[in-house]
Amino acid sequence: MHYIIGTVVRVSNRAQSSGPRSITAQQVKRTNNTPFNADKVYTLYNIQKNDDGVKYTFTDNGGGQLELVFNEPLDADKCIANALGERLPEYDEFWSRSSA
């Protein structure tokens, strides 16, 4: 579980960075293909395991709630990372290197 209660989600319109880019490279706007509305700021309010998986509850800056159910926390992390335009750390690789 990478994202915890209190995480703020603002949908990013910028592409994920994958290293150095040329100064002449054109910036490409990302399409919002997440359940988050680009007009709102969300805060992760609650994480709860239920019969269907793991329910993540977000509150938005308008006082509304958004409830999303994921099969497992990693699915939620991927969804949030996508909305933020971030990449998740490679935890498996980190732990395999540190235990060697």
Q: Kindly state whether residue 19 falls inside one of the protein's structural domains.
A: no
Q: Kindly state whether residue 1 falls inside one of the protein's structural domains.
A: no
Q: pLDDT: is 46 or 97 the higher one? A: 46
CA distances from 59 to 42, 82, 91, 93 (A): 5, 18, 28, 33
Q: Kindly state whether residue 2 falls inside one of the protein's structural domains.
A: no
**pLDDT for res 26:** 52
Residue 92 is classified by DSSP as: H
pLDDT per position as a tens digit, 67-84: 999 999 999 999 999 999
Task: Indicate the number of domains in the chain.
Answer: 1
Q: Kindly state whether residue 22 falls inside one of the protein's structural domains.
A: no
pTM exceeds 0.85: no
**pLDDT for res 58:** 98
Cα gap 85→98, rounded to integer Å:
27
Q: What's the domain range around 52?
A: 8-14+28-98
**pLDDT for res 15:** 53
Indicate if the pLDDT at residue 24 is higher than 80: no
